[in-house]
Structure 1
């Protein structure tokens, strides 16, 4: 939470805290008179590339609410396709500030969805992976969700807030021999722990190699009773276990030769999803997704086996392929002699730097062609080719198809 001590109205904070806790979304309160009394309750980190746009959205929503005479619920969707619910907080009919909940989505963020966001906002393609992971981590609200959450917000912001402690009641009428129970539980716990560590090690070894099928087979054996860690809150116990598993997968992925540049967005996405999940069954399903996507990261971005110089060169290409880059510009960025870089790159990758760049660009172009949202010329420019003819020539050399032929083939396969 971002808040200045001693400045926040306790009533407003309690109401916002309840809304935030129930909805598991970012919440911002903007005080009309005192900026120091404004605060944020954060559930998911906003990517830096979107922060300025989202900040402008929040200010726009606040200004709109201030000029709204009625006590209404505002549903706003911005140019990033991020949605928000907002209500004014009133005290004795006087507007005190804006309660803004979000962002959330109103549609499934598939690859086409993310591509349209990038195109509409002129965002570099290099952010595609980060934004795809971020959008997949955001909850999706349908019409009923929006209506119910909006009504919750407006009622909490309009009525007297009552805070009471919860009285926990349980039925423990069935009792077995205490010593016998402890002995059984201790034996099962030791057995589960041994199995967990053995299977866990196999999963991580498979992820490190990028062996998805092998890792998923071992994941089916990964069963561990975590309820003893939080007897009164089994869901929290399993969430904590999944958080730990996410950390281990992240480490295995890095050991597999993937740069933290690519690992961090995926790790952050899963951390948000884990916290937002409401059942143990969903956590188990998410665990399989985590294993699969970390394996994919190793397969697509690993630089294992390369020297530190070539790792730096490959990461520079992956992050800048959509811009004009050359042997000299790459050598300059990693502070190495161009001739030495050229020789070493060919020796380790068995490709020239130009061929490596073109392969990267064509692979990205194939993805964009499959989305079928842009012209071939536009796609060529988006992936770093400044000449349509040269793009088609390179594309056919690497795929045996022209871009148009590839589009036709992908369209037929999708039917």
Structure 2
């Protein structure tokens, strides 16, 4: 139960969505709710029982529920050692009361929430089989939830009390990250022992050292993601980046690997702060660079990007050159090479496979660009990284 509650707390902190846990009778066991939203759960009793009744009726573990006012919930049933536990993610409002509500926004939000639901399932169940499609059920009334007085609300004081690190250390990391200078943050992390000390000081999964380390990672990732958003990184970009790091952490097998990934994660968010918060970049250039970061593995062209942003290719090219000091293709290649470094270090993929994965058509072209940017070939980089990897904590 403690492990599930900790995961729920981390998920809530990372995505800002409330999570409730209840036993098979519908009694709430824990609630991860932002303090400003507690009043939404004040009166009304029947939502959980209606949901759980429907889940039991069709014997399906994963549901999406809609209320009459178009709030969405994801409900998940998981087996514990002694009983089943139902987790409820939501509520999340999707519609506006105004008649001119943009249906495109509704569609975008639906897709994002479906994605969050699948991530929710994966994090708590993590079976080898494919994530099942959630069944959709319309609730007959607009509910609110009753929380009994004995339930302890997990109030995450986002600025006053960061998870698992001291306030002083949080402020130091935040200050250094907000410079956007990766080398400054790298030097700070190299001299820092608090990651390992934190693993030892706080046990976040009873009897499971690796699970505890992963929970630490999720919590730290949530904190760092929040720092990035507060520092000007676009919210959706930061959340997507955080999710990708959490997925990578879940697939690691030693604490040493988790520590290395944690440092990489902090450095990547620092670089994102520099990218988004750079006052010399216009909003258009920031959006284009963000688009490159999300779609670098595709066959991106200047003409395609110009068409997407409604500008002439020459205008886009000149503006990027002027503000970044690099051409459109140089910016794109830099992003691709940065991602290829991760694959060279963390995967067993061949050089050709990595070249294709990051958007190059040919290995020779990839190797030429890689050497131009880094000064060494992809093979030399991979060998150098493998020689430097130590595993003292595993």
TM superposition score category, shorter chain reference: 0.3 to 0.5
Q: Structure with the greater relative contact order (CA < 8 A, sep ≥ 6): 1 or 2?
A: 2
Report the TM-score, using the length of structure 1 for normalisation.
Answer: 0.42
Larger Rg: 1
